[in-house]
Protein backbone atom coordinates (compact mmCIF):
# COMPACT_ATOMS: atom_id res chain seq x y z
CA UNK A 1 0.00 0.00 0.00
CA UNK A 2 2.79 2.42 0.92
CA UNK A 3 4.61 1.55 -2.29
CA UNK A 4 1.47 2.23 -4.29
CA UNK A 5 1.05 5.64 -2.64
CA UNK A 6 4.69 6.45 -3.36
CA UNK A 7 4.24 5.53 -7.04
CA UNK A 8 1.05 7.60 -7.23
CA UNK A 9 2.87 10.60 -5.77
CA UNK A 10 5.71 10.22 -8.29
CA UNK A 11 3.23 9.96 -11.17
CA UNK A 12 1.37 13.05 -9.95
CA UNK A 13 4.62 14.98 -9.47
CA UNK A 14 5.93 14.08 -12.93
CA UNK A 15 2.67 14.90 -14.69
CA UNK A 16 2.35 18.19 -12.82
CA UNK A 17 5.89 19.15 -13.81
CA UNK A 18 5.22 18.31 -17.46
CA UNK A 19 1.99 20.33 -17.49
CA UNK A 20 3.69 23.30 -15.87
CA UNK A 21 6.52 23.10 -18.39
CA UNK A 22 4.08 23.09 -21.29
CA UNK A 23 2.32 26.13 -19.83
CA UNK A 24 5.65 27.94 -19.61
CA UNK A 25 6.29 27.32 -23.30
CA UNK A 26 2.87 28.09 -24.74
CA UNK A 27 3.08 31.90 -24.43
CA UNK A 28 6.57 31.83 -25.96
CA UNK A 29 6.05 29.89 -29.18
CA UNK A 30 3.26 28.25 -31.23
CA UNK A 31 2.13 24.90 -29.86
CA UNK A 32 3.18 23.20 -33.11
CA UNK A 33 6.76 24.41 -32.54
CA UNK A 34 7.03 23.24 -28.94
CA UNK A 35 9.03 20.04 -28.82
CA UNK A 36 8.96 17.26 -26.28
CA UNK A 37 12.61 18.11 -25.64
CA UNK A 38 11.58 21.67 -24.73
CA UNK A 39 8.99 20.32 -22.32
CA UNK A 40 11.17 17.76 -20.54
CA UNK A 41 14.08 20.19 -20.19
CA UNK A 42 11.84 22.75 -18.52
CA UNK A 43 10.35 20.03 -16.32
CA UNK A 44 13.84 18.73 -15.45
CA UNK A 45 12.82 15.26 -16.58
CA UNK A 46 13.93 12.95 -19.36
CA UNK A 47 12.10 11.89 -22.50
CA UNK A 48 11.60 8.41 -21.07
CA UNK A 49 9.57 9.88 -18.22
CA UNK A 50 7.45 11.80 -20.70
CA UNK A 51 6.66 8.65 -22.67
CA UNK A 52 5.69 6.80 -19.51
CA UNK A 53 2.74 9.16 -19.22
CA UNK A 54 2.01 10.47 -22.72
CA UNK A 55 2.50 9.39 -26.31
CA UNK A 56 2.24 12.86 -27.83
CA UNK A 57 2.40 16.43 -26.56
CA UNK A 58 -1.26 16.75 -27.63
CA UNK A 59 -2.16 14.20 -24.95
CA UNK A 60 -0.32 16.28 -22.38
CA UNK A 61 -2.31 19.35 -23.43
CA UNK A 62 -5.58 17.39 -23.28
CA UNK A 63 -4.72 16.19 -19.77
CA UNK A 64 -3.92 19.74 -18.68
CA UNK A 65 -7.17 21.12 -20.07
CA UNK A 66 -9.11 18.25 -18.48
CA UNK A 67 -7.68 19.35 -15.12
CA UNK A 68 -8.80 22.91 -15.78
CA UNK A 69 -12.29 21.77 -16.73
CA UNK A 70 -12.63 19.56 -13.64
CA UNK A 71 -11.58 22.44 -11.40
CA UNK A 72 -13.93 24.83 -13.22
CA UNK A 73 -16.89 22.52 -12.55
CA UNK A 74 -15.97 22.20 -8.86
CA UNK A 75 -15.57 25.97 -8.53
CA UNK A 76 -18.89 26.69 -10.25
CA UNK A 77 -20.76 24.22 -8.07
CA UNK A 78 -19.18 25.31 -4.80
CA UNK A 79 -21.94 27.77 -3.71
CA UNK A 80 -24.69 25.17 -3.90
CA UNK A 81 -22.82 21.91 -3.46
CA UNK A 82 -24.02 21.50 0.13
CA UNK A 83 -27.33 23.34 -0.21
CA UNK A 84 -30.31 21.97 -2.06
CA UNK A 85 -32.18 25.27 -1.88
CA UNK A 86 -30.45 28.63 -1.99
CA UNK A 87 -31.35 32.20 -2.83
CA UNK A 88 -29.22 34.96 -4.28
CA UNK A 89 -29.87 37.42 -1.46
CA UNK A 90 -28.38 35.15 1.21
CA UNK A 91 -25.45 33.98 -0.92
CA UNK A 92 -22.03 35.21 0.24
CA UNK A 93 -19.39 36.41 -2.21
CA UNK A 94 -16.89 34.17 -0.39
CA UNK A 95 -18.85 31.17 -1.68
CA UNK A 96 -18.14 32.14 -5.28
CA UNK A 97 -14.94 30.36 -6.24
CA UNK A 98 -14.90 30.67 -10.02
CA UNK A 99 -12.51 33.63 -10.02
CA UNK A 100 -10.15 31.83 -7.63
CA UNK A 101 -10.19 29.05 -10.21
CA UNK A 102 -9.38 31.43 -13.07
CA UNK A 103 -6.55 32.99 -11.08
CA UNK A 104 -5.11 29.56 -10.27
CA UNK A 105 -5.02 28.80 -14.01
CA UNK A 106 -4.11 32.33 -15.08
CA UNK A 107 -1.79 31.22 -17.88
CA UNK A 108 -4.45 29.00 -19.44
CA UNK A 109 -7.09 31.71 -19.29
CA UNK A 110 -4.70 34.34 -20.64
CA UNK A 111 -4.01 32.10 -23.63
CA UNK A 112 -7.74 31.42 -23.98
CA UNK A 113 -8.66 35.11 -23.97
CA UNK A 114 -5.68 36.70 -25.71
CA UNK A 115 -4.77 34.19 -28.44
CA UNK A 116 -6.37 31.69 -30.80
CA UNK A 117 -4.34 28.82 -29.35
CA UNK A 118 -7.19 27.54 -27.18
CA UNK A 119 -10.13 28.62 -29.30
CA UNK A 120 -11.76 25.17 -29.12
CA UNK A 121 -11.27 25.11 -25.37
CA UNK A 122 -12.94 28.51 -25.02
CA UNK A 123 -16.04 27.01 -26.61
CA UNK A 124 -15.75 24.03 -24.26
CA UNK A 125 -15.67 26.38 -21.26
CA UNK A 126 -18.76 28.19 -22.55
CA UNK A 127 -20.67 24.95 -23.19
CA UNK A 128 -19.67 23.66 -19.75
CA UNK A 129 -20.95 26.80 -18.00
CA UNK A 130 -24.19 26.59 -19.95
CA UNK A 131 -24.65 22.88 -19.21
CA UNK A 132 -23.95 23.34 -15.51
CA UNK A 133 -26.80 25.80 -15.23
CA UNK A 134 -29.16 23.61 -17.24
CA UNK A 135 -28.25 20.38 -15.47
CA UNK A 136 -27.72 21.51 -11.89
CA UNK A 137 -30.13 24.29 -11.14
CA UNK A 138 -33.90 24.46 -11.19
CA UNK A 139 -35.44 27.88 -10.73
CA UNK A 140 -38.29 27.43 -8.25
CA UNK A 141 -40.00 30.71 -9.12
CA UNK A 142 -39.48 30.90 -12.88
CA UNK A 143 -40.67 33.66 -15.14
CA UNK A 144 -42.73 31.74 -17.70
CA UNK A 145 -41.72 34.26 -20.36
CA UNK A 146 -38.05 33.24 -20.12
CA UNK A 147 -36.73 30.23 -22.02
CA UNK A 148 -34.46 28.30 -19.67
CA UNK A 149 -31.94 27.37 -22.38
CA UNK A 150 -31.63 30.99 -23.47
CA UNK A 151 -31.25 31.97 -19.83
CA UNK A 152 -28.42 29.43 -19.47
CA UNK A 153 -26.82 30.96 -22.56
CA UNK A 154 -27.16 34.42 -21.00
CA UNK A 155 -25.65 33.24 -17.71
CA UNK A 156 -22.71 31.48 -19.37
CA UNK A 157 -21.89 34.46 -21.56
CA UNK A 158 -22.13 36.82 -18.59
CA UNK A 159 -19.65 34.79 -16.53
CA UNK A 160 -17.32 34.28 -19.49
CA UNK A 161 -17.55 37.99 -20.30
CA UNK A 162 -16.46 38.95 -16.77
CA UNK A 163 -13.61 36.44 -16.94
CA UNK A 164 -12.52 37.86 -20.31
CA UNK A 165 -12.57 41.45 -19.06
CA UNK A 166 -10.64 40.49 -15.93
CA UNK A 167 -7.96 38.64 -17.88
CA UNK A 168 -7.64 41.38 -20.51
CA UNK A 169 -7.21 43.86 -17.67
CA UNK A 170 -4.28 41.73 -16.43
CA UNK A 171 -6.09 40.74 -13.23
CA UNK A 172 -6.09 44.29 -11.89
CA UNK A 173 -8.93 43.38 -9.53
CA UNK A 174 -8.73 40.71 -6.85
CA UNK A 175 -10.68 37.49 -7.22
CA UNK A 176 -12.69 38.56 -4.16
CA UNK A 177 -13.70 41.81 -5.85
CA UNK A 178 -14.72 39.95 -9.00
CA UNK A 179 -16.84 37.54 -6.94
CA UNK A 180 -18.53 40.48 -5.22
CA UNK A 181 -19.26 42.12 -8.57
CA UNK A 182 -20.72 38.93 -10.06
CA UNK A 183 -22.95 38.50 -7.03
CA UNK A 184 -24.18 42.11 -7.15
CA UNK A 185 -24.85 41.90 -10.89
CA UNK A 186 -26.81 38.70 -10.35
CA UNK A 187 -28.78 40.23 -7.50
CA UNK A 188 -29.57 43.27 -9.60
CA UNK A 189 -30.97 41.19 -12.44
CA UNK A 190 -32.61 38.36 -10.53
CA UNK A 191 -33.11 39.55 -6.98
CA UNK A 192 -36.33 37.73 -6.09
CA UNK A 193 -35.57 34.27 -7.39
CA UNK A 194 -34.75 31.17 -5.42
CA UNK A 195 -32.87 28.21 -6.85
CA UNK A 196 -33.11 24.52 -6.27
CA UNK A 197 -30.00 22.42 -6.78
CA UNK A 198 -30.45 19.05 -8.46
CA UNK A 199 -27.13 17.78 -7.05
CA UNK A 200 -28.56 16.79 -3.65
CA UNK A 201 -31.93 15.47 -4.75
CA UNK A 202 -30.84 11.83 -5.02
pLDDT band at 7 (very low <50, low <70, confident <90, very high): low
Chain-centroid distance, C-alpha 188: 25
For residues 80 and 26, the model is more confident at 26
* pLDDT tens figures, 129-143: 999 988 877 664 456
pLDDT > 60? residue 91: yes
Which of the residue ranges 2-6, 44-48, 92-96, 115-119 has the most confident prediction, judged by mean pLDDT?
44-48
pLDDT in tens, 111-125: 999 988 898 999 999
Q: Is the pLDDT of residue 2 over 50?
A: no
**How far separated are the first and last CA of the chain, in Å rounded?**
33
Is pTM beyond 0.75? Reply is yes
Contact between 197 and 83 (Cβ < 8 Å): yes
Which phi-psi region, left, alpha or beta, contains residue 43 (left: φ > 0; alpha: ψ -120 to 50)? alpha
Domains and CATH numbers, the chain: 1-55 (1.10.10), 65-197 (1.10.357)
Q: What is the pLDDT of residue 36?
A: 97
**Chain mean pLDDT for the chain:** 87
Statement: residue 95 has pLDDT above 70: yes
- Reference 166, options 91, 103, 88; nearest CA is 103
Q: What percent of the chain has pLDDT over 90?
A: 61
Exposure class string for 99-108: b at 16+ Cβ within 10 A, else e: bbbbeebeeb
* More confidently predicted of 145 and 195: 145
Cα dihedral value 180, 185, 188, 194, nearest 10:
-80
User: What is d(CA 199, CA 182) in angstroms, rounded to the nearest whole number?
Assistant: 22
Q: What is the pLDDT of residues 25-67, one digit of tens each?
A: 999 999 999 999 999 999 999 999 999 999 999 999 999 999 9
Q: Which residues pair with 122 in a beta bridge?
A: none
Q: What is the pLDDT confidence band of residue 109, given thresholds at 50, 70 and 90? A: very high
Q: Which H/E stretch holds residue 197?
A: strand 194-197
Give the pLDDT score at 85: 63
Q: Which of 112, 132, 108 is nearest to 19 (CA)?
A: 108
Amino acid sequence: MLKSLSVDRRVYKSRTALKQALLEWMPRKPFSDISITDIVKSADLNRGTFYKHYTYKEELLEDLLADVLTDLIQAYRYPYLQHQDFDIQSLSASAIKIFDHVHAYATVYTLLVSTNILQDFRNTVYQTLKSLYLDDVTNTSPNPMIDKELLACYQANAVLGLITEWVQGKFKYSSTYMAEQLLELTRMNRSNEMYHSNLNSG
